[in-house]
A and B are shown apart, each in its own frame.
Chain A
């Protein structure tokens, strides 16, 4: 046997995102469930979120975000030979989203699979794409995080209905002479599998808020620091910290312990809600669009969620 040579690096070539048009405010939710704007903002940090209508699927949102990222990369569909969709909220389990999305985007017969690592999914997919491109298993990869949490939420459960939302974000990953995606640090705590779950196919998403909050505010900053350390980047050098947009208080707690004093902290949750695997590329793409981060900046991305699972890496902004 012979093997291709390992390439020195890969990098994110471009980003793209999509949000459904329908804005749902806290006041809108307070009309149907016992909650209010002050309670939601102080506990979770969300002011408004986007909820997709009945006819709009995970695959629809993924294809639009993916199309924007591909257009921004300057590559053509023929240049992509691997498509990975990170999602945990498909309407059905078969077929996977990646093959459907690739076909719709005109990407011809790529390797196509979904990753379910819940809210950590995008970082898992990005780590996998980086490895595939460097190892020669793919020339260029399209990595998408897309979720429709709204179809798995009990809209009478005020502990989850105020948090979760819909959206998609995407990144094109290609080869690079210098590393633009650092080593992924990933792991899981299956002992806490019950903390976030959907018990059966007719059930809704359930979350033990306090358990998850305690885990997220105590177990994750060491992962963030290790991702920096393995990339050889001092947290003080980071221009941005883009954690999964789970809860503003979790984001700020991890950010304080990270010591990334110069970094812009992603607070996309305020207007996007918690979009699980979509939240990191969605936040990053919107920050780039607003000019909050610039090409060449170093950003730490950190996903964490059901499983429990977590993953993080340092990336260079395209």
Chain B
């Protein structure tokens, strides 16, 4: 069975917490990585690498720069 959006959100929250220390509960779909969560470009790379390990979906750098919100990443991983 494919992971649901909620599963991916929880997994992403855990990854972001491990990399940045931000509580997983703050990782909600509408949040912007830079403006709301204060996550920088290098941490985004670390998150992308960890997300690849977790969900098996590669997010290359040229795609990563277009993913501005948590929802963008959820959509990218699901598609």
Q: Do these two chains interact?
A: yes
Chain A residues in the interface with B (C-beta under 8 A): 42-43, 208-211, 213-214, 217-218, 249, 253
CB contacts (< 8 Å) of B61 on chain A: these are: 208, 210-211, 214
Question: B40 an interface residue at 8 Å Cβ cutoff?
Answer: yes
CB contacts (< 8 Å) of A209 on chain B: these are: 41-42
CB contacts (< 8 Å) of B49 on chain A: these are: 214, 217-218
Top 6 A-B pairs ranked by shortest CB distance? A210-B61, A214-B45, A213-B45, A213-B42, A210-B45, A218-B49
The smallest beta-carbon distance between A40 and chain B, in angstroms, is 12
The smallest beta-carbon distance between A111 and chain B, in angstroms, is 42
Would you list which residues of chain B between 22 and 79 have a CB under 8 Å from chain A? 40-42, 45-46, 48-49, 61, 64
CB contacts (< 8 Å) of A253 on chain B: these are: 46
How many chain B residues touch A (CB < 8 A): the figure is 9
The smallest beta-carbon distance between B4 and chain A, in angstroms, is 28
Which chain A residue lies CB-closest to B48?
A214
Q: How far is the CA of A249 from the CA of B42 in the complex (A)?
A: 9
Check B40–A43 contact: CB distance below 8 A. yes
The smallest beta-carbon distance between A210 and chain B, in angstroms, is 5
Check B40–A210 contact: CB distance below 8 A. no
Check A217–B45 contact: CB distance below 8 A. yes
20 intermolecular pairs with C-beta atoms under 8 Å apart = A42-B40, A43-B40, A43-B42, A209-B41, A209-B42, A210-B42, A210-B45, A210-B64, A211-B61, A213-B45, A214-B45, A214-B48, A214-B49, A214-B61, A217-B45, A217-B46, A217-B49, A218-B49, A249-B42, A253-B46
Q: How far is the CA of A249 from the CA of B50 in the complex (A)?
A: 15
The smallest beta-carbon distance between B56 and chain A, in angstroms, is 15
CB contacts (< 8 Å) of B64 on chain A: these are: 210
Q: How far is the CA of A109 from the CA of B46 in the complex (A)?
A: 49
Q: How far is the CA of A249 from the CA of B40 in the complex (A)?
A: 12
From A209, A210, A249, A253, residue with most partner B Cβ within 10 Å? A210
The smallest beta-carbon distance between B48 and chain A, in angstroms, is 8
Which chain A residue lies CB-closest to B44?
A210
Besides A42-B40, A209-B41, 9 other CB < 8 A contacts? A210-B42, A210-B45, A210-B64, A214-B48, A214-B49, A217-B45, A218-B49, A249-B42, A253-B46
CB contacts (< 8 Å) of B48 on chain A: these are: 214
The smallest beta-carbon distance between A196 and chain B, in angstroms, is 14
From B40, B42, B46, residue with most partner A Cβ within 10 Å? B42
Q: How far is the CA of A218 from the CA of B47 in the complex (A)?
A: 12
Q: How far is the CA of A128 from the CA of B49 in the complex (A)?
A: 34
Which chain B residue lies CB-closest to A249?
B42
CB contacts (< 8 Å) of A218 on chain B: these are: 49
CB contacts (< 8 Å) of B46 on chain A: these are: 217, 253
The smallest beta-carbon distance between B30 and chain A, in angstroms, is 25
Which chain A residue lies CB-closest to B65?
A210
Which chain B residue lies CB-closest to A39?
B40
CB contacts (< 8 Å) of B41 on chain A: these are: 209-210
CB contacts (< 8 Å) of A208 on chain B: these are: 61
The smallest beta-carbon distance between A70 and chain B, in angstroms, is 40
Q: How far is the CA of A57 from the CA of B4 in the complex (A)?
A: 60
The smallest beta-carbon distance between B28 and chain A, in angstroms, is 24
The smallest beta-carbon distance between A173 and chain B, in angstroms, is 36
